[in-house]
Amino acid sequence: MISRKLCKFAPQQVITILFFATVKEKEILSNIKAKLGIESLNEMQLEMTRSINERGDLVLLSPTGSGKTLAFIIPLLKELHEPGGRLQAVIIAPSRELVIQIFGIVRNIATGHKVSCCYGGHSVADERQSLAVVPSIIVSTPGRLLDHVNRGHIDITGTRLLVLDEFDKSLELGFHDEMKRVLRHMPNLSRRYLTSATMIDEFPDFLRLHRERIINFLAEKRELDSRLTVQCVRSDAKDKLEAALSLLRSIEPGRTIVFANHRESAERIHGFLTGHGVSAGLYHGGLDQQEREMAVTLFDNGTNLVLVTTDLGSRGLDIADVTSIIHYHLPGSREIYTHRNGRTARVSANGNVYVLLGPTEKVPEYITFDNDFILSRATEQPARLQSDVASIYFNAGKKEKISRGDIVGFIANNGGITAQEIGQISLHDHYAIVAVPRAGCNAVVARLAPLKIKNKRVRITPLG
């Protein structure tokens, strides 16, 4: 997902640099302003941009939510040559969701350059067609990139620029062998960008880092921590389902992410909450790609107020205005705790973190509490756990030549609601999801279902 708040705005750091920029910088910054609504860069992003004037690879350490994506995209785009039917840069991220997020941002601001996106669960045929005309930039998970290389769909040997986003995850045991094989196909790299919110003990030799410079903004985490309120929530029972529901009923309304350690647990929590009237979605690695995309979309557009997820959701989900994080299970490490909490208090917002503790659980040393949160004993179901937004599903998308404008016109002209009542439109390759007022959702679907959009018969169904 693309956030319109990728930079944090502190008055002493807001620096307008268009006047001093080169022609290419002006074009990039103009696109960022026009497409993302961002007028100024923070100090970390400026430091990364300045650093490309030096030789050597760049390692950026910065807290989650601080704008690392733009921090590497801007210097990367400055280093690109003119488009010319050759692959110049590869951006690798460890999760599908992070790949999709980065791709959306790069595609918006890389004027004149073709950008392709590759990840598991996406149509191989669609990706192969996209790669048939060689892009300037590929954004991919390591496994899918290696698959396309092995199939002969793309040649990455001439690539000059490589980005490893969330390198602490990309280089861990599960990805290590894939990354090693990918790097064997990239002998001509002139610059590597590595970014993460957490450092690793040692970089593997196969990266062939050269005169690497570490740009460390992790001290900014103190400022982030000051915007987080961490509270201890004690459950009388080992099974914390009732405590989780009571907590959701007690806290201030807003988007909330509930983290569990296992898929089965996430499914159980989700089933319990939805059974008690909570507008909640489910997100974990056992779901297929469309199910995962839809879970994120329904949370982002307000159809679901709660997202229950495994630690898959601790990286790559850039959803604005998440007000609360609930650790249903204790995180397995300091790094996991950091990344979970990074889903809230993004940019300059505040956030609340709630740690559910069973009667025998011990608090890890890396978790410190600001206070205890006393659960309400009330049993009534507040309306705030039920969203007033619903969604409509269209089984046609970009590949069927359907645009957002087509959908707005179709609904406004035939659905009985105005264009102003239509919420977020999420357009994917082969489907679209549209947010509408919950009260009229079924009536809108009933009016639209018999009709054609752009002379195409499309299945239209309600969601949420």
pLDDT at position 143 is: 93
The answer to whether 401 and 454 have CB atoms below 8 angstroms apart is yes
- Give the model's confidence band at 8: pLDDT under 50 very low, under 70 low, under 90 confident, else very high: very low
Question: What confidence tens digit (pLDDT) does each residue in 13-33 have?
Answer: 334 443 434 667 788 888 888
Which regions of 36-169 does DSSP assign to beta strands (E)? 58-61, 89-92, 115-118, 137-140, 161-165
For residues 82-107, average pLDDT: 92
Q: How confident is the model at residue 278 (pLDDT cuts 50, 70, 90)?
A: very high
Please choose, from the candidates 69, 139, 128, 78, the residue with its C-alpha nearest in 3D space to the C-alpha of residue 103: 139
pLDDT beyond 90 at 318: no
pLDDT tens for 255-277 read: 999 999 999 999 999 999 999 99
Instruction: Tally Cβ neighbours within 10 Å of residue 87.
Output: 21
Q: Within the chain, how many helices (H) and strands (E) appear?
A: 15, 20
The vertex-34 CA angle with 29 and 40, nearest 5°, equals: 45
* Span 158-187, average pLDDT: 90
Residue with tokens 């100090």: 43
Other Cβ atoms closer than 10 A to 252: 9
Query: Does 387 have pLDDT greater than 80?
Result: yes
Q: In this predicted structure, what is the pLDDT of residue 36? A: 83
Where are the extended beta strands (E) located within 81-136? Answer: 89-92, 115-118
pLDDT more than 70, % of the chain: 90
Cα–Cα dist 49/105, whole Å: 17
pLDDT in the model for residue 315: 79
The SS3 assignment for 304 reads coil
Structure tokens at 405: 């404008």
Amino acid at 158: G
Output the pLDDT for position 355. 97
Residue 346: pLDDT band by 50, 70, 90 thresholds?
low
- Please compute the mean of the pLDDT values over residues 76-82 and round it to a whole number: 92
Q: Kindly state the average pLDDT of the residues 72-92.
A: 93
State how far Cα 203 lies from the chain centre.
25
411: confidence class by pLDDT, cuts 50, 70, 90? very high
Of all helices (H) and strands (E), which one includes residue 132?
helix 124-132
pLDDT above 50 (res 10): no
* Mean pLDDT score, 336-344: 87
Q: Is the pLDDT of residue 59 over 60?
A: yes
User: Rounded to an integer, what distance in angstroms lies between the CA atom of residue 35 and that of residue 29?
Assistant: 10
Residues 6+ apart with CB under 8 A from 40: 7, 9, 14, 15, 16, 17
**Strands, E, within 134-248: which ranges?**
137-140, 161-165, 191-196, 213-216, 228-234
